[in-house]
Structure 1
Amino acid sequence: MLQMRLQQTRGQGFVSRWSGCPVVRASRARRGAVAVHASAEYEALRGKVAYKASSGDPVEITSMWEPVLGSKAVVVCLTHFADLTSWELAQKLVKIIPTLEGSGVKVVVLGLGNVNNAQEFARILKFPMDRLFAYPAADLYLDLGFNPGFAPQLQVSPYVKLLPMLAGVGSPGTIQEVVRGYVGDSAAPPVFDSPTPFDVLGSGYQRPFELATLRLFNMMGILPKWQELCPPDTGLLTQQGGCLVFSGSSVVFKHVDSGILRYTEPDSILQAALQADYTSTSSAITSPNSQSGPTLEAEVQ
């Protein structure tokens, strides 16, 4: 008989478990609900083709790992390549890719847009181009149950739709996340791992204005390159992403971004992919263009 256990973790809401498969229930203030299913996501990916940033060649997504138990893959679905969310998450992923691949985990990072967008994104952020793939439409993300953003059926400019999303409409948790960037977070690690003026406010936690400052740096990097990074289909500007961890054709972890800046933390990906408790300093950032974001913790036993 299936049994469910609820464990409250410090500042993280509740972690629910059905037969050892993690289902993360987020706290209202900072988390989005996350459910893990057997293999519907694998079926959604099957037959879908993405395009290599390194060459532009098409590749069937599920061909990149074996559909057998124990063959692990992390599939990160970024938003579009000109989005702050994609930049923040990619800057963190760079730090954990060696650990994942050193443990035999395949890493597949998809982003919304075309190959040229992906190549410019990789060039600016020094993201490994052979792990990055462009996907030109929203159909896959919708099939995976990812948030389409504010009023997807409303026939108005996506730029107009972004305004209410930045206020949290159709983008739950975004306001809280923006505020967190300004007021700091005693439960989060510092954004920088080298000396900065923020050190006068203490150490060992995310200081006030630290994350907001880094987001400003990223925005300054995006705006001059908007045309090179923005997807040709501007309807993709509001589409949100998520993250999947597979063992063969079965999902062992899933995170659905509730809105802008609401991605999963890489440490959660590591925990799920490596099937072990993992304590990391990967969120410490050495570049002023790199940042940390909201945290989603999934315990994996």
Structure 2
Amino acid sequence: MKAISLLVGFLQLSPGSSYAPLAGVTARSVKTNQDVDLANFLQTTKNGDKGKTMLVMGTYAADFNAIEYAQRLRYYLPELQKRGVGKIGLVLNCEDEAAKVLADLVDLPCDVSSNKDDTLTLMVDPLGKAGIAFGVGRGWRPDDTAMSPYVKLFGMLWGLGAWATLPAVIGGYIGNPFTAQPWIEDAMAVGQRKGRWPDTALLLDENTGTVTKNKFSELPLVGEWPRRPLELATLRLQNMLDISIKNWEQLAPNEEALQAGVLTQLGGCVVYDSEKMEPVFEWKDPGICAVANFEDILEKL
């Protein structure tokens, strides 16, 4: 019997039968309050069929990376569905209420939001254990219990334990003449409709709220770039002031989560093809603001 148990365990962990890094790892569904086995979650689509599924390992709810993952999911959800991604999970390192607040702030369609979409399941993992099992970065000096988590986070802003932070932040200012990031305009429009500052980058139709003009397109020489200078930096300023700071009490990690290291833990994502029994795309954030490029994900689908 012991040999049979060992064999079953091996098969459960093998890449051919499930997504090995998350075998036996759970997160809690915000909607049902039930634990969800994340490896099993990746095995079937919403209808129980084989196909492509996606799991985003977010960070704590007030974090830049969690906010940007939610904003990107909001924009790319229809296109991901068109390309065969039948089920998506977003795991946040927070409690249920914080996850729901963030979903509302970014207008994210999911199974618990007012603009409901059961394709996206919102889950929580308050202590970040699922992300660690997945292999996300844990930031600077993760095992140093004497140092304040906020000191560690400050160090990460300068690249300590998160080498890609500065390139990602600087990239938000200088733009990109090659690769478009259309989710940025969508996220800024949501912010303006909700009264966030800065609120002058876009002109919105008074009746529909749709974008009629993007003022970054009027910048000399660079206005025609796919991702214009200052555009992403402006969105991040919106996110910092009117999502993270303004709602800090609702979104911030509690003391237990701070001690577990979620303040400095990074995120990642995986798209899994259960027909081929292999990941199509995997990503682990190498820094703050350095989340997965969803345009790269679409190219893999």
Q: Aligned pair 1:196/2:214, yes or no? A: yes
CA drift of 1:224 comes to: 1.4
Tell me what 2:67 maps to: 87
1:27 corresponding residue in structure 2 = none
* Higher deviation after alignment, 182-191 or 141-150: 182-191
Structure 1 position 199, deviation (Å): 2.3
**Structure possessing the higher radius of gyration over alpha carbons:** 2
SS at match of 2:236: helix
Residues 39 and 224 of structure 1: is their aligned pair in 2 closer, same or farther, counting only changes over 3 Å?
A: farther
1:112 and 2:93 matched: yes
TM norm structure 2: 0.71
What residue number does 2:103 align with? 122
Q: Which residue of 2 aligns with 1:228?
A: 250
User: How far does the alpha carbon of each residue in 1:48-87 deviate from its partner, in whole angstroms, 9 at most, with x for none?
Assistant: 2212223433322233353699522111111111111111
Residue 193 (structure 2) aligns with: none
> Residues 214-247 of structure 1: CA distance to partner in whole angstroms, max 9, x if unpaired?
1101111211111211222122010011111112
Q: Could you tell me how far 1:38 is from its partner in structure 2? A: 4.5
Distance in 2 between residues matched to 1:44 and 1:199, nearest whole Å: 43
Q: Which has the higher helix share?
A: 2
CA distance in 1, matches of 2:43, 2:167: 39
- Say whether 1:151 aligns with 2:132: no
Aligned pairs for 1:15-34 (under 5 A) are: none
Q: Are the aligned partners of 1:51 and 1:135 in contact in 2 as well (CA < 8 Å)?
A: yes
Map 1:126-205; keep pairs closer than 5 Å: 126-130=107-111, 131-155=121-145, 156-189=147-180, 191-192=184-185, 194=211, 195-201=213-219, 202-205=223-226
Amino acid aligned to 2:27:
A
The answer to whether the 8 Å contact 2:54/2:85 transfers is no
Contact 2:65 2:266 in 1 (8 A): no
Number of corresponding residues: 237
Residues 142, 104 of structure 1: CA spacing in aligned structure 2 closer, same or farther, 3 A cutoff? closer
Moved more, 92-101 or 252-261: 92-101
Q: Which runs of 5+ in 2 are unaligned?
A: 1-13, 112-120, 187-210
Match for 2:29 among 49, 52, 64? 52
Report the alpha carbon displacement of residue 39 of structure 1 after superposing the two structures with TM: 6.2
The reply on whether 1:42 has 2:19 as its aligned counterpart is: yes
Q: State the Cα distance separating 1:209 from its structure 2 match.
A: 1.6
Aligned-partner Cα distance in 2 for 1:257–1:145: 10
Task: Choose which of 76, 79, 93 in structure 2 pairs with 1:99.
Answer: 79
Contact 1:49/1:58 (<8 A) preserved = yes
**CA-CA distance at 1:177 after TM superposition:** 1.4
Q: Deviations over 1:17-71 (max 9, x none)?
A: xxxxxxxxxxxxxxxxxxxx94698233222221222343332223335369952
CA distance in 2, matches of 1:89, 1:209: 19
Further displaced range: 56-65 or 107-116:
56-65
Instruction: Give me the TM-score of the superposition, normalised by structure 1.
Output: 0.71
Indicate yes or no: 2:278 matched with 1:250. yes
Instruction: Give, in whole Å, the separation in 2 of the partners of 1:246 and 1:142.
Output: 18
Cα root mean square deviation, aligned:
2.4
CA distance in 1, matches of 2:85, 2:281: 17
Output one character per residue of 1:175-215: Cα deviation in whole Å (capped at 9) or x when no partner.
11111112222123264374233222122432222211111
Identity of aligned residues (%): 32
Return the alpha-carbon distance in structure 2 between the equivalents of residues 128 and 219 of structure 1: 22
**One-letter amino acid matched to 2:21:** A
Q: Deviations over 1:121-148 (max 9, x none)?
A: 1111121332211112233222222110
Conserved 8 A contact 1:151-1:161: yes
DSSP 3-state at the match of 2:279: strand
> CA separation in 2, counterparts of 1:204 and 1:169?
31
Higher mean Cα deviation, 66-75 or 249-258? 66-75
Q: Which residue of structure 1 aligns with residue 237 of structure 2? A: 216
Structure 1 unaligned blocks of 5 or more: 1-36, 275-301
